[in-house]
């Protein structure tokens, strides 16, 4: 029983790693093509990657570790755990990008945010006041933590939908009688 629990945990960690590495690969390709990490027309593809990987790994989890049955709630928890772990990997990727590979990305991010605020019609004085907040939010350490949190939110949104398609209920009589 303890071995099966360890196998389940290992599979959840593996699923998070798969999703995280898929997203890092995607972000790297987007960065190489556009010179930006976000704010491109390719951002919508990240949701497809999230949904595809979570669907695939949740289905395998159901079939291999849950005897072919998984409730909506357990599927939701699985998807969120997977996404949080991937968020940590993505956050670490951002940390490495902003800290070591291209420290100029932080300045570029701040400038893009300032331009976006000005385009929305905000005054220059207000944008200058916001600059310190923008710089703090683009700090590599803050990005590491915020990506873990955004992984939780993204995982919740994706798992809410994916769990509907993956859930499978077993025979209630067999569920009760397996302990007897």
Stated pTM of the model: 0.84
DSSP codes, 73-98: HHHHHHHHHHHHHHHHHHHHHHHHII
Length of the chain: 180
Cα dist from 126 to 13, 18, 22, 58, whole Å: 43, 42, 38, 46
Residue 51 tokens read as: 């949904």
User: Residue 171: what are its φ and ψ, rounded to 5°?
Assistant: -75, 120
113/94: higher pLDDT: 94
Residue 47 tokens read as: 């949701």
CA 33 to chain CA centroid, nearest Å: 22
Residue 88 tokens read as: 């940590």
Separation CA 21–CA 40 (nearest Å): 20
Say which residues have a Cβ less than 8 Å from residue 85's Cβ, sequence separation at least 6: 12, 13, 15, 16, 17, 19, 20, 151
List pLDDT tens digits, range 5-38. 888 999 999 999 999 999 999 999 999 988 887 7
Residue 116 tokens read as: 């976006």
The mean of the pLDDT values for the chain is 87
| Residue 47 banded pLDDT, cuts 50, 70, 90 | very high
Residue 162 tokens read as: 């994916």
| Residue 88 banded pLDDT, cuts 50, 70, 90 | very high
**Domain-wise residue ranges, the chain:** 2-102+147-170
Separation CA 92–CA 152 (nearest Å): 15
């Amino acid at each position: 029983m303890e071995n099966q629990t360890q196998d389940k945990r290992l599979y959840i960690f593996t699923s998070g790693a798969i999703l995280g590495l898929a997203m890092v690969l995607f972000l790297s390709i987007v960065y190489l093509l556009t010179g930006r990490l976000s704010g491109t027309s390719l951002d919508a593809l990240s949701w497809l990657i999230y949904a595809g990987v979570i669907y695939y790994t949740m289905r395998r989890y159901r079939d291999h570790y849950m005897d072919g049955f998984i409730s909506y709630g357990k599927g939701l928890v699985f998807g969120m755990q997977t996404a949080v772990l991937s968020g940590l990997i993505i956050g670490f990727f951002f940390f490495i990008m902003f800290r070591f590979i291209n420290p100029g990305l932080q300045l570029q991010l701040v400038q893009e945010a300032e331009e976006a605020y000005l385009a929305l019609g905000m005054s220059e004085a207000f944008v200058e006041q916001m600059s310190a907040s923008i710089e703090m939010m683009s700090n590599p350490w803050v990005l590491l933590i915020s990506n873990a949190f955004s992984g939780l939110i993204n995982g919740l949104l994706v798992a809410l939908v994916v769990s509907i398609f993956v859930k499978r209920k077993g025979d209630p009589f067999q569920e009760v009688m397996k302990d007897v």
